[in-house]
Chain A
């Protein structure tokens, strides 16, 4: 079951410069493990030492923030689109 993952600039050194990669996983947690298998070192950039998504990293499934879904337990289906995005300042 393949999903598309959009890779932000700071992580592209792990994906040989690719801005999009395919990955496998029934939920976000499994997806991160799969990314780590193919792109060693990437997991540690997305998750902290306790395994939670880092404070300054946002993960979106089809445009929805996983914190509004089931976080790392958010389930995935064939063809889903995942974005990993660093937090951005702004407003007013």
Chain B
């Protein structure tokens, strides 16, 4: 059962049958999955979705696989947290955190796109899967490949955080670290993909892969009671998720699952790598590449493939975008942890800090519903926050030592004797 009608170039409109192909042979524009939305509208309903398993495949009519899903049976359907304490700290009425830091199995939004890409790779008959990654994608591809019994090669820039490297290696792929940044990895992978004929999830399977990102938005809408939020903030790296959130919201409207109440979408980048925000602020849709220099390594992509579409989607939605410094990113991580008990990586810190900035600027009003997308997990990037958190107090194992410490920490507290 599939409602996919084929692939189409977003730039020149040329149509192609379904195949592992990611760029238009005429103009190099990206290819987009086409669906029979009339057919989907007749087939799908809120009641039909409600009893389905709580994973991203509950929206399968709007995903590009032909048969039964093969991987990702526990991926997606992450919590939409009603963030009361963070909302109070930011001075807003209705704030939610869409928490992909606890996505299954590899703790980032990438488990969505990889579930779709690897299910599709199996349908196409590939035996080897691969990716170019800043870390999270490699973790997810390696985990899903292990579960599917596929050969796996992952390519990452050298100098990534330990958690990201070990978080791939543990699943047993061949991990190749490239001397250079993500953009160097990308260039090489494009050439390797051409030569070796593997399923590169973010290269030749890109049209399928990127469709998985829509499920982040589908879930937000369903978890809000089939309503769109008024505002949603998400980080932009290569530019996959933001345009796909916009596409997903349009699809929900088109097939009759939500009303078109308008949702403004905001892009978040680190100041040390903000080519999309720079273009947006300069009033151009021409994204000039930059050399990344930020602690937010997972979103340090200087040459974003889909940057142009991020700007289009932001503008069409009536949203905006901002960038924040590394210091603000670290404050964002701590603020989320200390108000909501959620530990995110620097990409998530960027999302929190940009939300704060946009609220302070008056770009996002304080009395409307706001969703902050949290796309990754802080336990993978301990190095980034280690210097800025308190060290443990080390004491000898005596009660007297603790009493002294307690008095030093809380000088006005009195210790009550408790009867045993």
Q: Do A and B come from one complex?
A: yes
In this assembly, does B353 line the interface, its C-beta being within 8 Å of a C-beta of chain A? no
A55 vs B289: C-alpha distance when bound (angstroms)? 12
**Please, which residue of chain B has its CB at the minimum distance from the CB of A86?**
B23
Q: Looking at the assembled complex, report how far the CB atom of B255 sits from the nearest CB atom of chain A, in whole angstroms.
A: 25
Pick the contact of A19: B195, B305, B308 (CB < 8 A): B195
Q: Is the CB of A85 within 8 A of B134?
A: no
Q: Looking at the assembled complex, report how far the CB atom of A47 sits from the nearest CB atom of chain B, in whole angstroms.
A: 11
Q: Is the CB of B209 within 8 A of A89?
A: yes
In this assembly, does A67 line the interface, its C-beta being within 8 Å of a C-beta of chain B? yes
In this assembly, does B163 line the interface, its C-beta being within 8 Å of a C-beta of chain A? no
The residues in A between 46 and 87 inclusive whose CB is less than 8 angstroms from any CB of B are: 54-58, 60, 63, 65, 67-68, 83, 85-87
Pick the contact of B184: A13, A63, A86, A90 (CB < 8 A): A63
Residues of A within 8 A of B240 (CB): 89-91
Given A56-B23, A91-B237, A91-B301 in contact, is the A83-B28 Cβ separation under 8 Å? no
Pick the contact of B186: A8, A68, A90 (CB < 8 A): A90
**Please, which residue of chain B has its CB at the minimum distance from the CB of A68?**
B289
**Please, which residue of chain B has its CB at the minimum distance from the CB of A57?**
B28
Q: Looking at the assembled complex, report how far the CB atom of B195 sits from the nearest CB atom of chain A, in whole angstroms.
A: 7
In this assembly, does A45 line the interface, its C-beta being within 8 Å of a C-beta of chain B? yes
In this assembly, does B166 line the interface, its C-beta being within 8 Å of a C-beta of chain A? no
Given A8-B190, A65-B289, A83-B191 in contact, is the A91-B28 Cβ separation under 8 Å? no
A63 vs B181: C-alpha distance when bound (angstroms)? 12
Give the one of A60, A63, A67, A86 with max B CB within 10 A. Answer: A86
A80 vs B308: C-alpha distance when bound (angstroms)? 30
Q: Is the CB of B303 within 8 A of A65?
A: yes
Pick the contact of B187: A54, A55, A57, A85 (CB < 8 A): A85
Q: Looking at the assembled complex, report how far the CB atom of B121 sits from the nearest CB atom of chain A, in whole angstroms.
A: 16
**Please, which residue of chain A has its CB at the minimum distance from the CB of B241?**
A92
Q: How many residues of B contact A (CB 8 A)?
A: 56
**Please, which residue of chain B has its CB at the minimum distance from the CB of A12?**
B194
In this assembly, does B183 line the interface, its C-beta being within 8 Å of a C-beta of chain A? yes
In this assembly, does B202 line the interface, its C-beta being within 8 Å of a C-beta of chain A? yes
**0/1 string, B284-307, CB within 8 A of A gives 1:** 001011010000001101011110
A32 vs B371: C-alpha distance when bound (angstroms)? 47
Q: Looking at the assembled complex, report how far the CB atom of A46 sits from the nearest CB atom of chain B, in whole angstroms.
A: 8
In this assembly, does B323 line the interface, its C-beta being within 8 Å of a C-beta of chain A? no
Give the one of A54, A55, A91 with max B CB within 10 A. Answer: A91
Residues of A within 8 A of B137 (CB): 90-92
Residues of B within 8 A of A19 (CB): 194-195
Pick the contact of B202: A65, A86, A88 (CB < 8 A): A88
A9 vs B27: C-alpha distance when bound (angstroms)? 13
Give B residues with C-beta under 8 Å from A. Answer: 11, 22-30, 108-110, 131-137, 182-184, 186-187, 189-191, 194-195, 202-203, 206, 209-210, 235, 237-241, 286, 288-289, 291, 298-299, 301, 303-306, 308, 347, 375-376
Q: A56-B27, A90-B132, A92-B108 are in contact. List 15 more A-B contacts (CB 8 A).
A: A10-B23, A13-B25, A45-B27, A54-B28, A67-B288, A85-B190, A87-B306, A88-B203, A89-B30, A89-B210, A89-B239, A91-B134, A91-B137, A91-B182, A92-B375
Chosen A-B contacts, 27 in total, with CB atoms closer than 8 Å, are A10-B25, A13-B25, A54-B27, A56-B23, A56-B27, A56-B28, A56-B29, A68-B291, A85-B187, A86-B23, A86-B28, A87-B30, A88-B186, A88-B206, A89-B202, A89-B306, A90-B131, A90-B134, A90-B182, A90-B202, A91-B240, A91-B304, A92-B109, A92-B137, A92-B235, A92-B375, A92-B376
